[in-house]
């Protein structure tokens, strides 16, 4: 393949690269797709040539999120060639890490997205062919089950084929490491070391030369049973737990596992959103299969109104995230989705109460999540850690008993799963709701009690989706070149630039602004989508005052963004 970004990645060299890829592609769909593009480009079709250039000018980067991108032919897409190279590269890394006296064990899981099962089986065959003990999960399952399996099976690594809540045409390849990493997602330098092995495989050419074997093992349901039992133990239902609630799997894989856990834990089954309960990689009822996106929970709200429910829980498609909604007469349609920070603080106080007095115990959250968690940790005498975004960092916090991220991610059982887990978080929320109901209260009551105890924390997020990722880099560069003196009417007292690391945090493309009124504004690129994100956090004596301050900060943040775009 031509060197990415070189002049050779155009003209005849571009067509040569595409034909070389075509010759090794085992997938008839992507072969047909690429053959049509090559023929069109060779005939002078400028649009086809531009499409090929996008596909072949660079490789889909392997980083701390593994691989994630749109399905399609070429090295800048998710496909069987790229996955085969990734599996062979990861196998080489694991063998190198283990040495000559050990056969590394690797477990592979997959969700309901298009080609997830194909990518998982390809990986299992290549791991087995590469001399690893490969174990394939028995069927499509949530990401937390794979994360659990890495620790439960004492595996050297785990691979989950999923793109989580990304658009329907995406897929991904998420890698976990066992041993000293305790089943957490990869971080630097492992990501770069794995990427180097993957590149070496790609440089050797035809993936048909990669050894394969069908001698991999298939995990039994005993593994899923163990996850069910461990997760049910997070919050067993109190006696006569009477909850009237609604659940949606967002066309994902969460329901089958969650329903078994509900039985084991003693909770009543919900009314499910029937149109979204079965896995469907086309995600036909939502524009984006992400509970945070506008409209994604509309069918759940409609079902809850029809049923007179008191609570809605929603998992994203691979069930590692959880959304919670409650009745709210002031909200449009009478229902309001709680923010990730609201749920995160409720679960944080729950964890802090349980861990109070435990030596070395700590709470952790990403630095863009609510500062309220630190106040909770201090109140209960626990340690606190703010980390870079992502559970690959949160899960590694020393002494962690609970961690969360405002993007609907919660880690409530770190002794079992070292990653966000939307199913165990759902059980924990049901436990809170059932306990509150037992005293004539509800989750809204718990939120008021939290504000009374710790003050009114209010948060918001401004996300800007772009078509060209370079636009995000340009905005970050502009903010660094001319740091703002004010956001709206409020003076900026300090700006922390995490590009080269900061106070023990690893380097990250993050700007954190502290304002004179105690507010905080954080700007960073999304790690999984073409978005720039701005995180707003304020604290007020009352909810009304906090909301007023938050609205002013949001106006100032939008003005700032408009100036630098």
Q: Of 138, 423, 437, whose CA–CA distance to 262 is shortest?
A: 423
The DSSP H or E segment spanning 152 is helix 143-152
Distances from the Cα of 324 to the Cα of 62, 301, 343, 422, angstroms: 32, 11, 7, 11
Q: Of 296, 306, 297, 138, whose CA–CA distance to 225 is shortest?
A: 138
Q: Compute φ and ψ for 533, nearest 5 degrees.
A: -120, 140
- Which residues fall within 8 angstroms of residue 524, CB to CB, at 6 or more apart? 368, 389, 508, 509, 510, 511, 532, 533, 535
CA 270 to chain centre: 25
Residue in this structure with the two tokens 């620790």, named with its chain if needed: 151
Collapsing DSSP states into helix, strand and coil, what is residue 238? coil
164 annotated active-site: yes
Q: Which two tokens stand for residue 438?
A: 């037992």
User: CA triplet 233, 236, 238: central angle to 5 degrees?
Assistant: 165
Give the CA count within 13 Å in the CB-facing half-sphere of 532.
23
Q: Of 156, 185, 160, whose CA–CA distance to 172 is shortest?
A: 160
The DSSP H or E segment spanning 445 is helix 443-454
Centre a 10 Å sphere on the Cβ of residue 438 and count the other Cβ atoms it contains. Answer: 13
| DSSP code at position 433 | H
Q: Catalytic pick from 116, 123, 164, 519?
A: 164
d(CA 237, CA 235): 6
Residues with catalytic function: 164
């Amino acid at each position: 393949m031509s060197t990415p970004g070189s002049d050779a990645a155009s003209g005849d060299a571009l067509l040569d690269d595409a034909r070389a890829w075509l010759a090794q592609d085992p997938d008839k769909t992507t072969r047909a797709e690429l053959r049509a593009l090559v023929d069109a480009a060779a005939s002078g079709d400028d649009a086809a040539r531009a499409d090929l250039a996008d596909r072949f000018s660079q490789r889909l980067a392997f980083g701390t999120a593994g691989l994630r991108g749109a399905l399609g032919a070429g090295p800048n897409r998710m496909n069987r060639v790229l996955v085969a190279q990734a599996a062979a590269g990861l196998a080489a890394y694991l063998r190198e890490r283990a040495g000559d006296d050990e056969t590394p064990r690797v477990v592979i899981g997959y969700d309901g997205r298009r080609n997830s099962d194909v990518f998982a089986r390809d990986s299992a065959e290549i791991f087995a062919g590469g001399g690893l003990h490969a174990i394939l999960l028995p069927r499509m399952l949530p990401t937390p089950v794979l994360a659990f399996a890495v620790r439960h099976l004492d595996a050297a690594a785990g691979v989950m084929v999923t793109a989580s809540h990304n658009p329907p045409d995406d897929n991904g390849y998420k890698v976990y490491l066992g041993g000293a990493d305790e089943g957490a997602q990869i971080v630097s330098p492992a990501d770069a070391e794995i990427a180097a092995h993957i590149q070496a495989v790609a440089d050797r050419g035809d993936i048909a030369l990669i050894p394969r074997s069908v001698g991999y093992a298939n995990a039994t349901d005993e593994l899923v049973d163990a996850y069910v039992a461990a997760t049910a133990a997070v919050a067993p239902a109190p006696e006569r737990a009477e909850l009237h609630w609604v659940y949606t799997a967002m066309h994902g894989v969460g329901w089958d596992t969650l329903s078994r856990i509900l039985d084991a834990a003693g909770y009543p089954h919900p009314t499910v959103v029937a149109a979204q309960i079965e896995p469907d990689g086309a995600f036909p009822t939502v524009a984006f299969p992400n509970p945070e996106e506008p409209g994604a929970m509309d069918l759940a709200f409609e079902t809850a109104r029809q049923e007179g429910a008191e609570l809605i829980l929603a998992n994203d498609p691979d069930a590692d995230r959880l959304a919670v909604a409650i009745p709210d007469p002031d909200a449009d349609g009478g229902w309001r989705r709680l923010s990730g920070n609201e749920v995160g603080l409720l679960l944080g106080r729950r964890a802090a109460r349980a861990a109070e007095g435990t030596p070395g115990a700590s709470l952790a959250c990403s630095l863009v999540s609510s500062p309220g968690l630190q106040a909770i940790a201090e109140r209960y005498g626990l340690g606190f850690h703010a980390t870079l975004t992502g559970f690959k960092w949160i899960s590694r916090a020393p002494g962690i008993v609970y961690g969360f991220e405002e993007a609907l991610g919660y880690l409530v059982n770190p002794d079992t799963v070292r990653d966000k887990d939307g199913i165990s978080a759902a059980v924990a929320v049901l436990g809170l709701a059932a306990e509150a109901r037992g005293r004539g209260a509800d989750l809204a009551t718990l939120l008021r009690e939290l504000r009374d105890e710790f003050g009114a924390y209010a948060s918001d997020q401004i996300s800007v989706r772009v078509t060209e990722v370079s636009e995000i880099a340009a905005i970050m560069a502009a903010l660094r070149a001319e740091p703002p003196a004010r956001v709206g009417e409020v003076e900026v007292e300090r700006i922390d630039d995490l590009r080269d690391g900061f106070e023990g945090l690893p380097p990250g493309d993050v700007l954190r602004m502290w304002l004179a009124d105690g507010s905080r504004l954080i700007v960073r690129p999304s790690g999984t989508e073409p978005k720039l994100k701005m995180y707003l956090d304020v604290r007020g004596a009352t909810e009304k005052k906090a909301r007023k301050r938050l609205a002013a900060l949001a106006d100032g943040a939008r003005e700032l963004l408009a100036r630098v775009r």
